[in-house]
Amino acid sequence: MRGSSNAPSQGVWLTNIGNPEGQWEENKTTNVGIDASFLKGKLDVTVDWYQKITDGLLFQLDIPSTVGNGVAPFRNVAKMSNKGIDLQVIYRGAIALDWKYEANLTFTSYKNNIESLAPDVPFFDVNSAASEEGRIGGRFVRNEAGHPISSFYGYQVIGLFQNTGELTNSPAQEGAGVGRFKYKDVNGDGVITPDDRTYIGSPNPDFTYGLNLNLSYKAFDLTVFFYGVQGKDLINYTKWWNDFVPSFQTRKSKNALYNSWTPTNTGATTPIAETASNISTNQAVKSYYVEDGSYFRAKNIQLAYNFPSAAADKLGLERARIYLQGVNLFTITNYEGLDPELGGNDNAFGVDGGQYPNTKQYIIGLSLSF
């Protein structure tokens, strides 16, 4: 027999834990829509109202670390509803001879709510690379009945401790100190504990909207697409790295360097610059990270020239088009992170761990059809 090793080798490695009681999610959708055309086809209006009920939402709950390499089974944990409205308005016409235009406006608004949970599931949360428990002291997202999916959960910051007298007259708080975070005593028991954590924001927007404008003159056409999101919150987790000295002792943000609390800068919202690390500084999920993630962005602007059919035929082409395009040319937002347009999965989104932003691009292109 060739070979010198006689160590046993495992032939089957069981990792996925089964759930014999698991069932498929059940979705019930109701949709009512209206399509109408006015002004001899110049104006089109589409309105859709929908409701979607998801019963038996599947989720992988945490399992004890003693299970080893086992992968948590999917369980039916919740009933969830989505209700919303979609609106589209298109208007087209001509300004003058050879000048044509079309404006396409879209509007979407929805309300998400977790209606109920399985009897043995008080809530379910998600651990992600952005919210590492050992560093931040908890998870940003908690999903609980009566709240939208992916709601943010933590301590509500009500200011910074200004002096020793304020420390004495405030609820007892671990690590409390002058210049450090002061949390709201939610349950009113006179002590700041994990029971005082509350819902501090939601990444679900009030509404989103888009505007697509098309203008053409003879062989030229201009297309402009704007997109906006209003009324959503984001967790700017990059603040943990940039605003607190003990988190990552390299380069700091301007907040940490110039806007942090000092005896002469008592109006600051960024805590005192120090090396201490506790729940009153950088070791707790708190509303300090929550920012308004609303934005308005020029997603795409393109100016193009379409070669006449005769010129394309001489080149053996069916169609030829040259264009100049700009992508993400500008964004209007109050969000301090790199980009308010974040991704994420269905039950944990809106946490910005410093993902690579949508970049501004300038493109010159040639489109040929043979």
Structure tokens of 20? 């014999």
Structure tokens of 3? 């070979």
Q: Judge if pTM exceeds 0.85.
A: yes
Phi, psi of 40 (to 5 degrees): 60, 40
Q: For residue range 178-202, what is the model confidence (pLDDT) as tens digits?
A: 999 999 999 999 999 999 999 999 9
pLDDT score for 131: 42
Q: Give dist(CA 152, CA 349) in Å, integer.
A: 10
Q: Give dist(CA 298, CA 333) in Å, integer.
A: 12
Q: For residue range 68-109, what is the model confidence (pLDDT) as tens digits?
A: 777 888 999 999 999 999 999 999 999 888 899 999 999 999
Query: At 129, is the pLDDT very low, low, confident or very high (cuts 50, 70, 90)?
Result: very low
Q: Per-residue pLDDT for 229 more than 70? A: yes
Q: Give dist(CA 95, CA 254) in Å, integer.
A: 50
Q: Give dist(CA 271, CA 178) in Å, integer.
A: 9
Q: For residue range 307-344, what is the model confidence (pLDDT) as tens digits?
A: 887 776 767 777 888 999 999 999 999 999 999 998 77
Burial of 287 from C-beta contacts in 10 A (0-12 / 13-18 / 19+): buried
328 and 359 Cβ atoms separated by less than 8 Å: yes
Which residue ranges form the domains of the chain, and what is each CATH number? 26-133+205-232+292-369 (2.40.170.20)
174 and 70 Cβ atoms separated by less than 8 Å: no
Structure tokens of 310? 């005769």
Measure Cα distances from 280 to 115, 139, 179, 234, 264 in Å: 34, 16, 10, 21, 21
Q: What sign for the dihedral angle of Cα 160, 166, 171, 174? A: positive
Mean per-residue pLDDT, 198-216: 97
